[in-house]
Amino acid sequence: MPQQPLIQILLILGTAVAVIVLFRRLNIPSSLGYLLVGVLLGPHTGGPVVESVPVRALAEFGIVFLLFTIGLNYSLPQIHALRHTVLGLGTAQVVLTTAVVGGLAWLAGLPPAAAFVAGAVFAQSSTTVISNQLIAQGEENSRHGRMGIAMSVFQDITAVPLLILIPAFGAAASATAVSLDIGWALGSAVLAFVIVFVAGRWLLRPLFHVVAGQRSPELFTLTVLFVSLLSAWTVSHFGLSMAFGAFLAGMMLGETEFRHQVEATIRPFRDVLLGLFFIGIGMLVDLSALADIWQQALAATVALLAIKFVLVALIVRASGIEPVTALRTGLLLAVGGEFGFALLSIALADNAIDQHSGQILLYAVLLSMIVAPLLIRYNHAIALRLAPTVEHPPASGVPAASAEATGNLQDHVILCGYGRMGQSIAHLLTAEHIPFVALDLDASRVREAHAAGEPAYYGDSAEGDVLDAVSLARARLVVISHDDLAAALRTLQYVRAHCAGTPVMVRTRHERHVDELRAAGASEVFPETMEASLMVASSALLLLGVPLSKVMRRIREERAGHYQLLRESFAGDELDRNDRSAPP
């Protein structure tokens, strides 16, 4: 029937809208929702069936545009700048996971090519799941949160060489042929990089200057699509993945002043086509095969979570990070990821792995992503269970908080976190001759601050023993200036249990955490987002000609609605007069 394609499109869109709305309300990642849509509309379940071949053909461009946007954010200078930190940790994690899992799969009887695919698929973690869950629980700016997100994003880059190697494994039949095909693929990748690099340096910037000069959003969008797909098509003629070509084009554009506008232009196409990609992956799920492989799939899931957790924790710990943070980072990155699905899809299409083994890997990654929110939500409790002792400095020369070092403190302020905000507060306290002590888990920051003569010590302010070591019982005030919600709540719990009368001020990034922190015992909570909006609003009113006195009154009224301390302080102008009469 002529309307059959339209009916299939309506089925996909209608089912996707219903499922994604439900998943959003339940705070479940959208990628899992798209996978469910694919399962429901795939050939292995009852009900309406959508032809999978056209969907997967179109969905391939989702990976193309995803790699293009990743390339935008990882230009050559940025990759060079990351070479000593995330680059080293991320490379070690991907290489070791691929080697260990691949070796175990080979010993279990898989051919070398399929074993390599298994290792590469398991090496990926879900940036979407990790970041969304960390944001939901307020840990996106914690140390383990930042490291976990950075390493998962870097894994996306490592998928690029894997996109080159996997098709080579699928095309070759013998070890000699594999070596020749890999050599040819790597040589082709270098040649493609040179071509795109030269073309990008000499043609892309002038082209986009001309296009931007026309001031036409439509023309700019067309140009972005043309450049990304042209690069993908060019590289595909070298026998490489189209996604690799798009990544190279993104890297070249990432060095230009058009990067942000290009990313904003491509995002709608990327998100919609990525949704189609996950729907296509869902269509590969054969529920009828689950009865025969569920034990193998469950064992593969446990292996995926356990191996990655141990390897990541060991790698992070070896870099000098304290054990609890290393364990928490390992729990974040233990889960499988979207790029694992992408690599598996390519491997199945190129016959690098058989359908039976592919189904096992597919279920393993899927189950790990379903378990991921629980692992991430309880990452600290699990880490403490595995390493319950109070941490010590990760390297020599880092001063730790101890009763011997801080035993003479009296009527002082305890700063929990010595980042930019903590240091700003410390400077004001010093100007007013108010004693303070700072705690931080960044060993290099503590070492530098202590060398400069500042009372900063290495210690976890969420640990009661550490707070006691800096004389919590004799402190006048505790200021939580870091942005780790879970750690802040544990600090509040300990302070309220042992020093109920000590006031505690807490900084938080989002207003949604204010009520929770106040309920936990915070004397006052200061959300960054609100303060930033008040600063912008006051400047806007001044530029619009509103008198300064009226602007200050408006800002005070807004603050008074949020801060109990300020409601008491700004009752009138008495405070200002007292301040002016006080000696400097």
Least confident of 145-159, 214-228, 281-295, 508-522: 145-159
Question: pLDDT value at position 174?
Answer: 46
Q: Is residue 212 within 8 Å of 258, Cβ to Cβ?
A: yes
CATH architecture of the domain with residue range 55-274+291-382 = Up-down Bundle (1.20)
The pTM of this model reads: 0.63
Higher pLDDT, 538 or 492: 492
CATH class of 403-581: alpha beta
Arithmetic mean of pLDDT, 331-340 = 87
Alpha carbon distances (Å) from 365 to 126, 242, 304: 10, 24, 8
Rounded to 5 degrees, φ, ψ at 527 are: -80, 130
pLDDT interval class at 309 (50, 70, 90): very high
Residue 581: band (very low, low, confident or very high) from pLDDT cuts 50, 70, 90: very low
Q: What is the pLDDT of residue 373?
A: 82
Task: Read off the pLDDT of residues 116-132 as tens digits, 9 standing for 90 and up.
Answer: 999 999 999 887 778 77
* Residues 463, 464, 469, 473, CA torsion sign: positive
Reported confidence tier of residue 22, pLDDT bands at 50, 70, 90: very high
Q: What is the dihedral of CA 316, 319, 320, 324, to 10 degrees?
A: 0
Residues of the chain with CATH 3.40.50.720: 403-581
pLDDT in tens, 293-303: 889 999 999 99
Amino acid at 189: A
How many CA atoms does the CB half-sphere of 533 hold within 13 Å?
11
Q: Tell me the residue ranges of DSSP E strands in 395-476.
A: 413-416, 436-440, 456-458
Sign (positive/negative) of CA torsion 223, 225, 231, 233? negative
Distances (CA, A) of 481 to 175, 414, 417, 438, 453: 57, 10, 5, 10, 20
Where in the chain is CATH 1.20.1530.20? 55-274+291-382
At residue 572 the predicted structure's pLDDT band, cuts being 50, 70 and 90, is very low
